Every structure is written in C-alpha cells, then in structure tokens.
Chain A
Amino acid sequence: MKKTGRKLTIVTMLLVILLISIVSFGGFYVKKQNRMENILPDYLLGIDLNGGRQIQLKVDDTINEVVYDKDGNVIESPTEEDKTTEGNTVEKVAVNPEDSLTWDNFEKAKRIMEQRLKTAGITDYTVRLAGNGDIFLLLPEYEGTDNVLSAIYTTGKFEILDDETNEVLLDDTSITGASVGYAASSTGATNIVLNINFNKEGKQKLEEISKVYVSSQNEEGETVNKEVRLEIDGETLLTTYFGETITTGQLQLTIGSSSSSSITMEQALLQGSNLSVLLDSGKLPLTYKISEQKYIESDITAENASILLYIVIGIAVLLLVYFVVRFKMRGFYLWLASIGYVALLLLVLRFTNVDITILGILGILLSSVLCIVFCSMLAGEMKKTEKLTQGEFKAMEKNIAISFVMALIPIIILAIVSCFANYLPLISLGMILFWGILILAIYYILIIRNIVINTIE
C-alpha cells in the first residue's frame, strides 16, 4: 500500500476511535421537546453503586386476646362485651410465643428468607440478622420490589382443610416443592397453574382426600359438593372439590386463565410466582412485620466517582507516556486505540443491559488491562525487528495471538462460570469480562490491526 493510503487508513481509524469515545464518554444528544436529551441507555447499577430498599423486619411482638365462651369454644371477632361476659374467659396469646424466640429460629427465618429471595430470582441483596431476631434486608429498587417483599416475610403456613369441619387434612410439612407454569385447558385456553409437590406421606393423603372430596349426587338426585379449603396464613386461597383422584402426588391449582377476565395473565403469573416462592421454601418459624422501609442511596457518591475518574485519567496519562517513550508514534496510536476500546466496551455495556457493580468495575479494569497488555506485547515484538515486513508481521501476530488467547482461556472460563452464578456481583464480573474479551477480539481485527499494520514502513 502507498504511504498516503496507509496514512489515510490510520487517520480514518483514529477518527472512528474519536467518534466512539465522544459518543461513549459524552453521550449522543438529540433534540426532544425543545431540549437536548442523551438517547443512550443509562448504565444499570447494582445495589452497591445505586443503593436500594432498606427494610427492617421485626419479630412480631403482638399479643392477641382469645375469648372462650363458657363451653370453651373460641368466640370469633369478640366484642368488649364478650370479654366481660360472665363465664367467658380471655386468654392472652402472643403471635410469637416466648419459647419460639430462639437464635435457631432467627437463623432459620433468615435462611428461609434468603431461599425465597433466590427462588424469586433476586440476585442482588444483603440480609443481616440482629441479636433480637430483627432482619435487615437490602433489596434492589424496581417495580417488583413490593411484590417480592410480600412473598419474603409472609409466614407461609399452608393448609388444606375440610371446608365444613375445619379439620386440617394436609399441611406444609408434606410439601417438597412448588412451581408455577403454564398448562393448556380442555377448552384450548392457556392456564397459569401452581404445581405443589408432596412427599410420600403427602401423596397418600392427597390421594385419599381426592377420593373423598368430590362432587356427587345424593339419594334425592341433588348434587352435593364435598369441598376442601386451601389456606395460606389463615387466608382462603380457594375452595374446591376434586374432579378425579390424584395419584401423582402433585396438586395442580389454576391461578388464572386466558379465557378469564377477572384476573390478567400477568397478575396470575405474579400471584402464582409468589405462592410458589412461599411454598417452595417452607414456613417461617416466626411471624415478622415490616418495621421500616426506605430507599437509601449508595454511599458511593458522585464525589467518590470523580476521585476514581481522576485516578483513571492519571493512569491513562502515565500509560501515554510509557507507550510514546517506548514505541514512539506507534505507541501513541495504540494508546489511543486502548482508550477507544474502553469507550466501546462502556457503550456496549449500556446497550446490553449488563448490571454494573463494584466487582463489575473490576471487570472493566481487567478488560482494559488485557487490551493494554496485548497492545504492549504486539508493539514490543514489532520493536524487536528493525525493518518488519508485512509477512513477518503476520507470522509474529499469529504467535502473539496464540499465546495471548491461550493465556486468556482461564479468564474466559472464569467469565463464563461467573455468568451462570446467581449472585449479581459475580454475574456482573462475568458478563463484563465476556463482553470485554469478545469486543477485544473484534476491535483488534477491525481497528487495532488496521492501525498497526499501516505503521509498518
């Protein structure tokens, strides 16, 4: 290639780098309703950088009064008069009995809440347990936070009762798991169903119940429904009878249907998910109530971020000096290309909706280091040969690339494994490293290589 052509290619590449850098660091502004607006998506930040909903759950210390009549029966919703009526007795019952307030139960409650958070798909949270059993949660703030929270601290006591006698037929001790899913109904509509799986003992009981609690006709030919009532924390979920005997040990409850107008599919899915989270993790040993909840920002402020920015600029300047002193003009180009790489990576992170956490920032730094190390290796090798030909460059490039890729494989393994973790800081690190390595490969082929190859005389 002629010298002018080579220079033109380098200038073009540098302009591309400049453009990427301006857009990535400065933003892309368009006029919207008489004001300029950056149309680039915002970075998604984890709770360590963005803050989150801080919730304090207190062990419920409420003491209820239970009123018995003279025959010893409980009076539902007693009035003040009932309490003072002769023959009636009033008993004070704590929501959480004294003997249940043990460290084991506090820890068990914390473990169950953590399990519920995982089942609900929350990957970024902290749970702290205080000595008095209070639990402090920090959850990400989004439109589903309230919904998730309600599923976390609910006790989750599940019972199947005889609707007439209130006899408990089956309870949560027999549940092995629960899940929400879709099922097609006989009419062709799509149903959202909650599948509750029971253990061996529960399976037998369910089979017996499903044989007894059915719709039948009495001697007079009238339809009689013998029904069960499903309750969660004393609240009726539904009252039903069985159409067929259940022998599989799985109870399938329809939460919503595409043919029904009473509840949308989205609401049904949400309700089903909440129930499955509750049933899947078991019952809390204690009853909790929300003491306070607030959205608290991260303590990493814009001031801290600007300090980090100055440090990064300082390092970039040092690298510029190193590259220019060691590799002259080629070094300057490679330094500029490295800046462009960071800009491109940040731009991609905006569009790919990767959550950025502190560990994720480490991923950005590591990716940048990889780019710098590769550029440095390349320029270092090129410096060794005085009059490098294009053919020699390609052989040398191949050697460096193989060594570099082989050295990168452990990092790639780390990135891929981290991507599949169920903890946001790790996912953030994994995703950023994954994108960082992928972009480095593409960026090298499209930009860096074109610059370097055109610096060869």
Chain B
Amino acid sequence: MEKKKKTKIILWVIIALVILAGIVMRFTMGFAYDFQYQEHTRIDFYLGQQFSLADVRAITNEVFGDRDVVLRKVEMFEDMVAISVPSASEEEITTLMNKINEKYGLDYTYEEINIVQEPRMDNWDMIRPYIFSMGIATVLILVYIAIRYAKLGVLKVLGKTLGCLVLAEVLLLSILCITRLPINRFTIPAVFLVYVVVLLYLVLQYEKTRKQVKLEENKKK
C-alpha cells in the first residue's frame, strides 16, 4: 500500500515537472510548428507530362538536402508540381529549375517560375472551429456525469473529470512543446484522442465505483 502511494506521488511529481517545463518552454521558445503552418515558399513547375513524385523528390533532396519539402501534384491532369519549402534562396530555386529543366526537357527561366510566399496559418483559426462544439459537448457530458454518478459526490466527480481532462490536455501540449514535435494536422486529432480516452477511462471507473457503492448499500439493507 505504502509502495503504491509512493509510486503515485512520484507519478504526480513527474507530471508536475513535465507541465512546468512545458509552460517554461511555451513562454520562452513557443510551440514548434510544421513549416506548412508557418510562412513558407511554394514553387510551381508546369512539367507538361505525367510525372512521378519520387523523381521530383530526388531532385529536391539534391537541392534542399534534409530540409522539409512537401510535394503535391497540381491540377486535374497532374502535369504540374507544387514544391513547398520553409524558405528557398534565389540560388536554390535556380538550381532546382535547372535540374527540372534537365530532367523534363524544359527551358524555364527564373522569371517564368511561379513562386508564391504562402502566409502563416493563424493559431486561433486552427482551434476556433472546435471551441463552440467542444464546449457544448463538454458541458453536456459533465451534466450527464453529475446526474449518473451523483452518488459518488457531484462536486467530486465533476472536479475530477474536468481536472483530468484539462491535466491530460496540458500534459499533451507540454510534451509537444518540450519534444519540439511540430504542431501539424495530426495535433487536433491527438487532442481529441486524449479527450476521448480520458473520458472513457474515467466513466468506466465511475461505473465500477458506482456498482461497488450500490452493492454496499444493498448489503446494508
């Protein structure tokens, strides 16, 4: 029993430390964002023929090395490629153009290439669509929990549920911040996953405790 208590304390200390480190990182370095969520450069090449992304990838690897590069096919005939990079110098773009010209028998000049500076995605825009629905869902879920598990103590159950949900999400964000894992299109699904798993775990636990309380009540009767 004593060992269990000790383990629990250690676990809480670790969680607190991770969150603290996460907060410090958040206010000193901020989150790391996927470059596509930041201002970045998109270079479009009309190749005039069907092509393999692997071939273009080989070229971009030569030009941009191990930097993040995202390749996408453009238009219905898939004869155009959009190359997105965090940033690219004029020299790099020229080298890229020369290599593409050589590979696909084209004769682009620098002025003919479509280079677009794509702006950053507003952080608020990323989370805003979820706030209203998630807020309503959370309130309704808390009301359900308060009614269903009233015997376990309304305030206790509500506090625990809300506390665990917030703690789990803060922990997830802290881990993201500390590990410098970029915020990308998988971050929101990860937040939802944590939300659902914590909720499911808590409710299954409440259900178990409720059964025990009921059993004890029956025994007393």
Residues of A bordering B, CB below 8 Å: 48, 51, 56, 126-131, 134, 136, 292, 294-299, 301, 303, 358-359, 361-362, 366, 403, 406-407, 409-411, 413-414, 417-418, 420-423, 425-426, 429
B contact residues around A409 at 8 Å (CB): 144, 148, 203
Q: Does B9 contact A (CB under 8 A)?
A: no
Contacts of B141 in A (CB 8 A): 410, 413-414
Q: Which residues of B contact A296 (CB under 8 A)?
A: 72-74, 82
Summed over the interface, the residue pairs from A and B with CB atoms below 8 Å come to a total of: 110
Cα A343 to Cα B175 with chains together (Å) = 34
B11 proximal to A (CB < 8 A): no
Which A residues touch B122, using CB under 8 A?
128-129
Asked whether B1 is an interface residue with its Cβ less than 8 Å from the other chain, the reply is: no
Contact (Cβ within 8 A) A362 B193: yes
Asked whether B162 is an interface residue with its Cβ less than 8 Å from the other chain, the reply is no
* A338 CA / B141 CA spacing, docked (Å): 28
Partner of A411 from B80, B116, B196, B208 at Cβ < 8 Å: B196
Of the candidates A126, A134, A292, A403, the one whose C-beta lies within 8 Å of that of B207 is A403
B199's partner among A130, A294, A410 (CB-CB below 8 A) is: A410
Distance, CA A403 to CA B200, complexed state (A): 11
Contact status A128-B121, CB under 8 Å: yes
By the criterion CB–CB under 8 Å, are A134 and B119 in contact?
A: yes
- The stretch of B12-20, B86-94, B101-109, B181-189 in contact with A is B181-189
Interface readout for B3-40 with A: 1 if CB under 8 Å, 0 if not? Answer: 00000000000000000000000000000000010000
A425 touches B188 (CB 8 A): yes
> What's the tally of chain B residues with a CB closer than 8 Å to chain A?
48
Are the C-beta atoms of B196 and A414 separated by less than 8 Å?
A: yes
User: Chain A residues with Cβ under 8 A from B73's Cβ?
Assistant: 296-297
Q: Are A359 and B74 in contact (CB under 8 A)?
A: no
Q: Name which of B59-67, B128-136, B166-174 contacts chain A.
A: B128-136
Query: Do A423 and B129 touch across chains, with their CB atoms under 8 A apart?
Result: yes
The answer, among A128, A301, A410, for a CB contact under 8 Å with B203, is A410
CB-CB under 8 A for A358 and B114, given A127-B125, A295-B75: no
Q: Is B118 an interface residue (CB 8 A)?
A: yes
Interface pairs (9), CB distance under 8 Å = A128-B121, A130-B119, A136-B118, A297-B78, A359-B188, A403-B204, A421-B129, A423-B129, A425-B129
Judge whether B43 is part of the interface by a CB distance below 8 angstroms: no
Q: Which residue of A lies closest to B204 (CB)?
A: A407
Query: How far is B130's CA from A414's CA once the two chains are assembled, in angstroms?
Result: 12
B82 neighbours in A (Cβ, 8 Å): 294, 296
**Which residues of chain B are near A130, meaning CB under 8 Å?**
117-119
Q: How far is the CA of A48 from the CA of B184 in the complex (A)?
A: 12
Interface presence of B215 (CB below 8 A): no
A126:B121 contact, CB within 8 angstroms: yes
Q: How far is the CB of A335 from chain B (nearest CB, A)?
A: 21
On whether the beta carbons of B137 and A418 are closer than 8 Å, the reply is yes
Does B47 reach chain A (CB closer than 8 Å)?
Answer: no
Known contacts A358-B185, A426-B130: A366-B196 contact under CB 8 Å? yes
Chain B residues lying within 8 Å of A411, measured Cβ to Cβ, are: 196, 199-200
B71 at the interface (CB under 8 A from A): yes
- Residues from chain A with a CB closer than 8 A to the CB of B119 are 128-131, 134, 136
Q: How far apart sit A5 and B132, CA to CA, in the bound complex (Å)?
A: 54
CB distance from A68 to the nearest CB of B (A): 39
Which residues from chain B contact A429 at a C-beta distance below 8 Å? 192
Whole-angstrom distance between the Cβ of A407 and the nearest chain B Cβ: 4
How far apart sit A128 and B114, CA to CA, in the bound complex (Å)?
19
Known: A409-B144, A423-B129. A292 touches B116 (CB 8 A): yes
Chain A residues near B117 (CB, 8 Å)?
130
- A294→B42 CA distance, assembly (Å): 13
**Inter-chain contacts of A131 with B (CB < 8 A):** 119
